[in-house]
Structure 1
Amino acid sequence: MLAIPVESDSPGTMSTKLFGNAKFFAFVDPLTKQSTIITNEGCGNGIQTANYLLERGATSAVYGFLGDGPFHVMVRGGMSVYWLGSETMALSEAIDVSLTQSLVRVTPENASEYLDPGTAAGACECGCTHG
């Protein structure tokens, strides 16, 4: 399942920029493109969000802004992580873009180029220890 952070649980929702602060995630079946929107029980904390997605069975995720801590939790958990870009888009567009295989896969080797927590200080604020 592909996890996409979204703004609301209503039809026609948009992707959202901040991964850990996303109130909802669309879980998308890559074979059918069908999505189910779930409430993010880890909202407000990137590490808790990453763990929640793993618990719910996500195998990949996309993001606009993401810190080191949640990224490493997902990668260590076996998830593939892709940079969606820093602009929001309609969920239907985010699904199409995500499934075209054209997004950059973020790995520990290229993470410094693509990770940005999107906070005012430019640093992760989830309280985790990175590494």
Structure 2
Amino acid sequence: MITFPVKTNKENAAVSPLFGKAKYFAFYDGENLTIEENTFKHGAPLIDWFLNKGVNDIVIKEMGINPYKKIKATSMNIYHAGDDRVTTNELIEKYKNNELVVLDEEKMKLIIKKHESSHTHGHSHNH
């Protein structure tokens, strides 16, 4: 199963640039797509939710260091949705056609650096 953050719970929603604070996550099992509300609001607890749901692959635009560390300790793959706007249907097609790139350590470092420099949300990351 694959999961990715989406902006709304409407059909063919745009993929959200947010990860931990995304309002919703789409889940696709190869046949069915469901969208569920993110009740966690932080990245790391999401990983347990995904594992419990049987997620193998996560597609992101951005991600912080904490959820990344937690994912690294699992067998889940992280794919990049790209920097441009992409809809749910477009992303699923790319996934089915093996057009998404698995993010390696170097690419993840760049994404995490971009993520941490592009936003502030009222608290310190204590880096």
User: TM-score w.r.t. structure 2 length?
Assistant: 0.81
Aligned-pair identity (%): 24
Matches within 5 A, 1:1-131: 1-30=1-30, 33-43=31-41, 45-108=42-105, 110-116=107-113, 118-120=115-117
- Is the Cα–Cα contact under 8 Å of residues 106 and 114 in structure 1 kept in the other structure? no
- Is the Cα–Cα contact under 8 Å of residues 9 and 24 in structure 2 kept in the other structure? yes
Letter matched to residue 27 of structure 2: F
Partner SS, residue 11 of structure 2: coil
Query: Cα–Cα, structure 1 residues 126 and 57, in superposed 2: closer, same or farther, change >3 Å?
Result: farther
Which sections of structure 2, spanning at least 5 residues, go unmatched? Answer: none
- Is the Cα–Cα contact under 8 Å of residues 65 and 116 in structure 1 kept in the other structure? no
Which sections of structure 1, spanning at least 5 residues, go unmatched? Answer: none
User: TM-score w.r.t. structure 1 length?
Assistant: 0.79
Query: Cα–Cα, structure 1 residues 61 and 129, in superposed 2: closer, same or farther, change >3 Å?
Result: farther
Query: How many correspondences in the alignment?
Result: 127
Of 3-12 and 57-66, deviating more is: 3-12
Of 19-28 and 99-108, deviating more is: 99-108
Q: 1-side partners of 2:49 and 2:124: how far apart?
A: 17
Partner SS, residue 115 of structure 2: coil
Instruction: Tell me which protein shows more helix as a share of its residues.
Output: 2
Following TM superposition, by how much is the alpha carbon of 1:56 offset from its aligned partner in structure 2, in angstroms? 2.0
